[in-house]
Amino acid sequence: MIINPYAFGVSYDPDAQAFFTASGLTGATNLTAINNLVVALKGFGIWTKMKAIYPMIGGTAALHKWNLKDPQDTNAAFRLVFSGGWTHSSTGAKPNGTNGIADTFLISSGTLSQNSTHISYYSRTLSNNVEVEIGTSSGNNPGDAGSLIEIRTSGISYYRVNSGGTYITYIDADSRAFYVANRTASGVINGWRNSTKVATGTTASTGLSTKSLILGAYNAGSIQFYSTKECAFSSIGDGLTDTEAANFYTAVQAYNTTLSRQV
């Protein structure tokens, strides 16, 4: 379905319009939310740093699969393929914690920079289980893992980007938030919760995974640590400066507020 960008006097950013055209997304609130998100990300200078943006909008798997940055229905464009148990609704996509994953087909070693990478996940679920929301590695414990693990046992969030077994951590009472694991140099890694940098570290980067990043679990060849946290947004891309990371939250929170699903 092609959306007329000039219907009722409304015009949209060309990248937002491309998403509407490809996905068939409808509804004035949905279109406004996506358009404002794209405009905000561009205004903050973040849009060009993104490889994949999953806005999880529209309430169905067929709509939640689209990559806002490159809305083509192909593996090469990093659109999602959902498998296992998921619940799709207007508030996002929720994996079942036992077999639900979404494959991004984005392989770090072919797409990302070892010393400049971020991964993000907007969680709407309170859970204190051993779960990975977005993650990859070439094996069980190699030196090339990237993973964002919110609220594992004892209420600790773990962040790791393109390195071995060392995580930076944050004692976290509530897993309902926007999380970003972020690397900007070989010895510079930080973790964000909403607009606040809550963890920093100097662990050197040691490699890029040859397995695809997945949402809802950890892809180490075998799938591990299935999540139950509802996703209202996720992204993969280059590393973000502190200002960009804070502004990223502002844009994503405004997006989810427009959709009445903010936490």
| Domains, the chain, with CATH or none | 50-258 (2.60.120.200)
Residues 191 and 178: beta-carbon distance below 8 Å:
no
Please provide the size of the chain in residues: 263
Tens digit of pLDDT at every position of the chain (263 positions): 444 444 456 799 999 999 999 999 999 999 999 999 999 999 999 999 999 999 999 999 999 999 999 999 999 999 999 999 999 999 999 999 999 999 999 999 989 999 999 999 999 999 988 899 999 998 765 677 878 776 666 789 999 999 987 899 999 989 999 999 999 999 999 999 999 999 999 999 999 999 999 999 999 989 999 999 999 999 999 999 999 999 999 999 999 999 999 99
Q: How many CB atoms lie within 10 A of CB 175?
A: 26
pLDDT of residue 6: 43
pLDDT of residue 144: 78
pLDDT of residue 154: 75
Residues 121 and 229: beta-carbon distance below 8 Å:
yes
Residues 214 and 103: beta-carbon distance below 8 Å:
yes
